[in-house]
Structures are given as C-alpha cells and as structure tokens.
Structure 1
Amino acid sequence: MTSPALTASTTPGMDAAATVRVEQSGLEALAHALEDPAGLGGAFAQAVTVLLGISGRVVVTGIGKSGHVARKIQATLASTGTPSLYVHPAEASHGDLGMVQPGDAILAFSNSGETTELADIAAHTLRTGQPLLAVTSRATSTLATTATLALTLPTMPEACPMGLAPTTSTLMQLAFGDALAVALLRHRGFTASDFSTFHPGGRLGARLRTVREVMHKGNAMPLTTPDTPMREVIMEMTHKALGCVGIVGQNGELAGLITDGDLRRALDQDLTTTLAKNVMNPRPLTINPDALASEALQVMNARKQPVTALFVLDSAGLPVGVVHLHDLVRAGVG
C-alpha cells in the first residue's frame, strides 16, 4: 500500500489537535466520574481500601493495548511503595498463576471486559477468594460481573476516525491507574526519601540523593575560630579550596561563615590584625544532612546573589559537612 500524498486540504496539525481534544474529553469525563461518590468515585475509594488492606502484592494484568497500560501501572505502583507484579493472562493459563500468592489482589484492565484470556485468572480468584478489581468500560461485561469490585470507566469515543484503535480508552485506563497509584502513595505516607530508594539511577536518582551523600566532611571541612587572624583564615580557605571557612564557637557550634566574597569586601582592612569575627557573616545559610541534594541547590539559588557552598548542620547546630555547588553538578543534580 502506498502512502497518500499530502494535499492542500490536508492539515496534519489540525488533525493532531482534534485527536488530542477527543482524548482530552475522555480525561474530563473520567475526572467528572471520579468526583461522583455514588459512582466511580465511591468504587475508587473502595479499591484504595482493598489494596491498602492486602498483605501481599497487587497483581496487574491485561492483554493487547490494555496489557501495555497494565505493565506501566504495575511499574508505577512498584516504584511508589505498592508491591506489585505484572502477569500476562495467556501465560497465567500455562503456569504463571503460580506467581499469584495468598494475600495478593488482582487488578485487571480490559476495555470491553470480554477478554477471553482473562477467564482463567478470574476463575482462579473465585476459587481462592482473592480480590479481583476490574477496570473496564462495560459494567455488564463478564469481567465486571465476575469481579469483586468493578471500576467502570466512562464510555467515550476513540480518537481513531474509525472508532476502532484503542486511543481514548487506553489513555483513560492509564490516567485511572496513575490516580490509583498516587492515592495509595499518599495513604502510605510515601516520601521523596522513600522514592529515592527505588530510583537510584540516572538524573532522577541524582536529584534524590541526600546532602549527606555528597558533602565534604571531617578534615575536609574548612573551620576556624572567631579570634583567628584573617591571614590564617585565608590560608585555611586556600588549603580546603571550598571558597569558604566556617567559624565555630566554644561549644563547636557554627557561629558564622566567611566566604571569598566576604574576603574581597574586607580587603580595605589590615588583614594581619583583623580577626575572623570582624568579617564573618553571623547568619549563614545552612542545610540538614538528610535534606535532598536538590533542596541544597534550591537554597543556593534562592538568594539574589547565589551562594556556592552551604555548611551542613546536625540537629544540635554542629557542622558535620560542607556541600559545594561543584559537588552537586558532579553528582548530576545541577
């Protein structure tokens, strides 16, 4: 088959916009349905309760385009604190039902609700009494009537001009699954720190590293006392090469900070007699060691004159490290 040539009346951009608008109408209908406590909204709340109450995993399944959606939702659930796995319904009929264990719940995606490949999984749940949550657009379908809980999505036109290729329906399934994963995340109290545990790689993993993981500590910290002559302060700053020196009080607490900018501003003074306490900033920006590295970058950039280093203080106000902008850049945060 040869591809038709574009003509003056062909407007791909307008066709694309029309496709998006059809799919957008599906999402709007889904959002409206989720706001109805007597309809899909109430069923959604029940689904969250069921999945929070299981002792095992969420077994996500589906075939065809719904299967692709199911795989994505399973991955989102797993990465946001809900133990889960994907089981292919055809493979389930040939031994993979052994992957489904007591305490699990099944989350099945099927637009029509008449997918024959899901029959064995549905029958298995009837035998074992495991919850079967069916995401479908037909409340009277075999899957919906078999399920413990039917989650019936609004029936909306597909964006395909023939009304055949799953487009709007799969987008609605995807959005519904994401909504379910986010609701579970919130109820579990899943935090950014938890998220970083499951995302150690790539740029996302870098942004979720903690300050503790990238800071300079121990002897690498440039430290001195308030009565130290500025000549010695300059030597400490030069030796540690972080562009700053922390000034610590008698109890080891951070009393102030001298940066290379402070040093330049003090050049009109006699640096052989001037003391650190006369130059230091007594209210420097600091950060907690368990803060995310991305938070440190935000603190650095928050000032009109961005800073390049932050002292890291523990709960007692004692310096435990220094994080420099270059460290964040090398870690992939910047």
Structure 2
Amino acid sequence: MRDILLNAARETIATELQEAASLPDRLNDDFVQACMMVHGCVGKVIVSGIGKSGHIGRKIAATLASTGTPAFYVHPAEALHGDLGMISAGDVVILISYSGHAAEFVRIIPLLKALPVGIIAFTGNANSPLAQAADRWINIHVEKEACPLGLAPTSSAVNTLIMGDAMAIALMRARNFSEQDYARTHPAGSLGARLLCLVGDIMRTGEKIPRVNVDATITDALFELTRTGLGLVAVTGEDGALNGVFTDGDLRRWLLKGGVIAAPVKEAMSTPGFTLLASQHAAEALALFQQRKISSAPVLGEDGMIIGAINAHDIREAGI
C-alpha cells in the first residue's frame, strides 16, 4: 500500500509539473493585452467559474485583490439569478472554463456583451464558444490530467491557478505595488503589524510613563522603576524636556562603583540616553533594541518632548 500511495503521488506531481512547464511559452500578446485590460479597468474586475474552476476563480480573485487589483468572485449560477446586477459597463470579467462550454457562460456572455464589458477567457479550448466570444484568451490547455481517469481537473486546475497568479503578479509589478500597499490589505496579519504599526500607536502614555525630575534622587528613581516595571526612568527638567535616562543597568553600575542611592539621579543617569520617536515604525524600534541589547526607551514627539515610553514586550504584544 505504501508504494502504491507514493508512486501515485509522484506521478501526479510529475504530470502536473510537466504540464505547467509549457506555460511560459504561452505568455503571448493575448496575455499582455488581457493584463492591460485589467490594469486600465475603470470599473470592477469580476472573476467567475463553476465547479473546480469556481474554486480556482475565488483564489485568483483573492490574489488580485490583495496585490493591488480590486476584484471579487461571482458564481455564474447566482449571476443568472440576480447577481448579474453586480456587473456594469466598464467592468472586466474573467471567465474560467477548461472546456469553454459551460452552459451558464453560454447564457451570460450575450448579456455581458450588451453592457458592454471586457471579457477575458481562461480556457483550454481555443475553438470553444467561450474562447471565441472573449476579447482575450488565456491558454490553460493540458495534454494530460494527473487524474488516472482523465476526468478530475488536476493538471488543468494547476495551470489555471498558475496563469492567474502570473496575471496578478504582472499587474502588481506594473502598479509598483509595495510592501506598505500589501500591508494595508492585510492589516490584521503579522506583515501588516510590522509595516503599519508605529511606536506612537502602542507606547505607554500618561501615568504609565516612568519619569522623575532632574533634581530627584536615585531612591526616587528606584520607586519609579518599581512602580512601572519598564526598566528605565526618564529624567526630565522643569520644562518637561528629557535630560537623560536612568535604567536598571545604570543602577547596577552605580552601586558597583560604590555609589549610594541617596545621591542625585543625574549623577548616575545616561546622557542623553537612547530615545525613540513616536513616528518610527515599531518593527524598527524592536530591531534597534536588539542591536543595542536594550529592552526599553522613552518616546519623544517631533518637538523633542517626552510623550511616552515603550519596551520590547509592548512591541511583541502588538504582533511584531
């Protein structure tokens, strides 16, 4: 049984890879013009397919949408029962059917042409009604399905997905779609947190900021260290400007050289001390912490006044 399973799996992968290997040679002017249709679309991009083509179509629509080309999926049967109203003049419709004979598309295509909309066909049959009716044809033909019966869409489904990805990424490049753009469509993910989250979004503010006046003693700073547990205390002047930073490390170094805790904190603090700006990305702040082997810092506004404090734990808690 083990050998049967492994051999079948290897044959499947080999067949699908062999069929996919022919796809680069099919990237012709039709592909370029199809991409230009989508790139220049002033309306919406709608993807549709039924059966396995529908499942692949949903993924293509999702990939387009997340890489800078707003798109959504419409089920062809639902389109015939009202969802056709989602499609309007100026849209571009991507219709997926390996045979090119899907009955739903035969009924839908005349209605689409009457609007009119641009039609891109993903099909393996150049002589099919779908390919003939479309403005542009994306060739997903396969010589052999990986299914031993030649029935289940396997190689053809892979070819469709690859060509859909090829279109999405080509358009992504054409739009100069950046990491920041990608993060805006994935704000809940780790990438979104890394690229969008600023220090000012997650820093501690108000009473949670550990601080003492420049005339305070090390004892006063110790109480503030204990109260906030941040590992540092901001030492500020009467105007609120930062004079220095007193950390756990500063305390250890002070005591090791024989200093007393009744001494003024300004004698033991680090000057000017490491600080962050509220406008910096939190991921950058975390990288700086790791580089400097520290775990926390005061946060300054654009005017140089202290407005918050943050540590590495706060950043990691934000999903970065």
Assess same fold via TM > 0.5: yes
- Does residue 25 in structure 1 map to residue 24 in structure 2? no
Unaligned runs of 5+ in 1: 1-5, 34-38
Alignment partner of 1:323: what SS? strand
AA aligned to 1:286 is L
8 A contact 1:221–1:240 mirrored in 2: yes
Please tell me the residue identity of whatever aligns with 2:59: K
Instruction: Name 1:280's counterpart in structure 2.
Output: 270
Identity of aligned residues (%): 38
Shift of 1:64: 0.9
In structure 2, relative to structure 1, the CA distance for the partners of 1:147 and 1:207 (3 Å cut) is same
Task: Give the aligned residue type for 2:16.
Answer: E
Structure 2 CA distance for partners of 1:282 and 1:130, relative to 1, 3 Å: same
Tell me the C-alpha RMSD between the 2 structures: 3.4
Q: Distance in 2 between matches of 1:43 and 1:313?
A: 55
Aligned to 1:303: 291
Distance 2:224 2:252 in 1: 16
Structure 1, residues 124-144: CA drift from partner, whole Å, max 9, x if none?
232223111112233333212
Q: Does 1:142 align with 2:100?
A: no
Map Cα deviations across residues 52-83 of structure 1 (whole Å, 9 max, x no partner): 22222111101110101111222233344433
Q: Counterpart in 1 of 2:209?
A: 221
Give unmatched runs, 5+ long, in structure 2.
Answer: none
Give the 3 Å change call, closer, same or farther, for CA 255–59 of structure 1 in structure 2. Answer: farther
Q: TM-score, normalised by structure 2?
A: 0.81
Task: Return the alpha-carbon distance in structure 1 between the equivalents of residues 178 and 39 of structure 2.
Answer: 17
Structure 1 equivalent of residue 55 of structure 2: 68
Counterparts of 1:248 and 1:136, CA distance in 2: 70
Q: CA deviation at 1:152?
A: 1.6
Equivalent residue, structure 2, for 1:230? 218
Amino acid at match of 2:14: R
Equivalents in 2 of 1:130, 1:207: separation in Å? 39
Deviation track 1:89-109 (CA, whole Å, cap 9, x = no partner) reads: 122223321111222110111
Q: Within 1, Cα distance between the matches of 2:129 and 2:105?
A: 10
Find out whether 1:171 has 2:158 as its counterpart: yes
Equivalent residue in structure 2 for 1:242, among 211, 227, 230: 230
Counterpart Cα distance in 2 of 1:123 and 1:187: 31
CA distance in 1, matches of 2:95, 2:298: 51
* Residues 1:44 and 2:34 aligned together: no
Determine the C-alpha separation between the residues in 2 that align with 1:135 and 1:176: 9
Distance 1:148 1:317, change over 3 A: farther
Q: How many residues align?
A: 317
Question: Distance between the aligned counterparts of 2:212 and 2:176, measured in 1?
Answer: 42
- Matched to 2:220, the amino acid is E
